[in-house]
Amino acid sequence: MRGVKFQTIKGTSDRLPEDAAKWRFITETARTVLERFGAGEIHTPIFEEASVFQKAVGDSSDIVRKEMYNFTDRGGRDLCLRPEATAGIVRAYLEHGMGSRPTPVKLWTFEPMFRGEKPQRGRERQFHQVGLEIIGLGDAMADAECIDAGVQLLAALGIQNYVVHLGSVGDVEDRAAYNAYLRATLEPVVTWLSSDSVERLELNPMRILDSKDRGDQDLLRELAVKPMLEFLGADARAHFEQVQQILTAWDVPFVVDSSIVRGLDYYRRTAFEFIHSAPSMSGCSTILAGGRYDGLVEMMGGQATPGVGWGCGIERVILAMEAEVIAPPALEQPLVYVVPLDADSLIYAQSVARAVRGVGIALAAYKVKNMGKALADAEKAGSRYAVIVGSVERESGVLSVRTLETRESSSVRLEELSAWIEAEQHFNT
């Protein structure tokens, strides 16, 4: 349709070649760090049965009530795009009998997520996360190791200006007691709550603490609502103290934050957030967050199995890197640019490029250009060497190689070109 201008859907964005260095740096660093912790890489489908997340995340959550991208397929099944990683990974853990593997099972992933929420800086409707799960171990040691893996990841990325906030949401009975307290406290002032929080008061009062409504937050402060930490039972409190002791022994800095309330129903006990301190990160300062989810495997049909994990937002990590002026390593640039001097040399030029791709990126012009324009294109491409071929070079098999930085020229036989380039690279490093 002539005149129609297609654009990305609101809440999504294109990732262009110039963005690749940052994304590759983050994902490859995550692979290195997390696999050193013994985590295996896992990828689950981009869409699942909607009930996977309804069961795991909870019908009262904003994700299920407002944000999931649901659709019915041709078979009449209720499906949705993945809004978070853990539920799908636990489904895979059960489906493939991974509980028979040595305990704990450590898994890491890098996936896009989809939530139909209001787009914001650092969180669009399609966003991306690196995630870590440690399944099968209920000890505080697993919680501490999980947090330490996040610390090690950010250290490897060069990110320093953040604080680990540590809290606990207790056991099931602790949460029930806290929700009862919140209902008793807030029901007398229900008319002052936002419409969303009125609904949360009925379904899951703890979610009111996560409300983004300023009036809700002002009301909570005015009522001096007690934090969840005051309702921890003996077992949950002992677990929380053990996590702190281990992190302290490992010299992992953290602060106890009584305000942390994870937004998904499957969380138990330990909860944590890595919050960046740069002013430019206001509104998107949480770059990594997670916690323990004992009971999730059982909720999804398996035997009671503990677990702990986190998700790290790639877009927010990039913003943190920019705030700290961290430049990722540059991607490999073209090493060779082959310049054909005449039409008969076009195919030969591509053959030269094919011959040297074993030692680096090699490009060849698709059209004949004058020498000045061709060399300018080679420099613009970032190439180190320009190989010039014409009738003389084709007949003799001896190529003219120009080092673009020094403008020096050398004569090199085609069959020796790769070795010559490798020797030059070694000599100049």
Write out pLDDT tens, residues 75-90.
899 999 999 999 999 9
pLDDT digits (tens, 9 = 90+) for 196-238: 888 888 878 888 887 778 888 888 888 888 888 989 999 999 9
Instruction: Give residue 369's pLDDT band: very low, low, confident or very high (50, 70, 90).
Output: confident
Give the number of other Cβ atoms within 10 Å of residue 41's Cβ. 12
Asked if residue 9 is part of any domain, the answer here is: no
Q: 159 or 423, which is more confident? A: 159
**Max intra-chain CA distance, the chain:** 94
pLDDT value at 339 more than 80: yes
Asked if residue 224 is part of any domain, the answer here is: no
Are both 311 and 341 inside the same structural domain?
no
pLDDT value at 189 more than 90: no
Are both 283 and 314 inside the same structural domain?
yes
Instruction: Give residue 58's pLDDT band: very low, low, confident or very high (50, 70, 90).
Output: low
Instruction: Give residue 65's pLDDT band: very low, low, confident or very high (50, 70, 90).
Output: low
Are both 249 and 373 inside the same structural domain?
no
> What percentage of the chain reaches a pLDDT higher than 90?
43
pLDDT score, position 2: 67
Are both 52 and 125 inside the same structural domain?
yes
Are both 132 and 252 inside the same structural domain?
yes
pLDDT score, position 264: 65
**Region 403-407: what's the mean pLDDT?**
85
pLDDT score, position 60: 58
**Region 147-164: what's the mean pLDDT?**
96
Are both 244 and 356 inside the same structural domain?
no
Closest by alpha carbon to 148, among 269, 321, 272?
272
Asked if residue 368 is part of any domain, the answer here is: yes
Most confident listed range (57-61, 242-246, 349-353)? 242-246
pLDDT score, position 157: 96
Q: To the nearest 10°, the Cα dihedral for 139, 145, 146, 149?
A: -170
Are both 420 and 367 inside the same structural domain?
yes
Q: Domain boundary residue among 323, 357, 391?
A: 323
Q: What CATH number should be reported for the domain holding residue 299?
A: 3.30.930.10
pLDDT score, position 143: 97
Number of domains in the chain: 2
User: Which range of residues forms the domain containing residue 370?
Assistant: 336-427
Q: Report how far residue 426's alpha carbon sits from residue 71's, in angstroms, rounded to the nearest whole number.
A: 56
Are both 293 and 390 inside the same structural domain?
no
Burial (Cβ within 10 Å: 0-12, 13-18, ≥19) of residue 117:
middle
Q: Which positions ≥6 away from 234 have C-beta within 8 Å?
A: none
**Region 55-62: what's the mean pLDDT?**
66
Asked if residue 102 is part of any domain, the answer here is: yes
pLDDT value at 1 more than 60: no
* Sheet strand arrangement including 162-168: 40-41, 105-114, 126-135, 307-313, 286-292, 268-276, 162-168, 255-256
pLDDT score, position 118: 84
Give the number of other Cβ atoms within 10 Å of residue 349's Cβ. 25
At 121, list the tokens: 């800086």
pLDDT value at 62 more than 80: no
Asked if residue 10 is part of any domain, the answer here is: no
pLDDT value at 310 more than 90: yes
Q: Which positions ≥6 away from 141 have C-beta within 8 Å?
A: 246
Q: Domain boundary residue among 283, 300, 323?
A: 323
Asked if residue 207 is part of any domain, the answer here is: no
pLDDT score, position 263: 58
Asked if residue 210 is part of any domain, the answer here is: no
Q: 295 or 144, which is more confident? A: 144
Are both 309 and 417 inside the same structural domain?
no
Q: What CATH number should be reported for the domain holding residue 379?
A: 3.40.50.800
pLDDT value at 272 more than 90: yes
Are both 36 and 105 inside the same structural domain?
yes
Are both 380 and 297 inside the same structural domain?
no
Average pLDDT for the chain = 88
Give the number of other Cβ atoms within 10 Å of residue 94's Cβ. 16
Are both 159 and 266 inside the same structural domain?
yes
Q: Report how far residue 378's alpha carbon sits from residue 386's, in angstroms, rounded to the nearest whole number.
A: 7
pLDDT value at 427 more than 60: no
Asked if residue 227 is part of any domain, the answer here is: no
Q: Domain boundary residue among 323, 353, 383?
A: 323
pLDDT value at 341 more than 80: yes
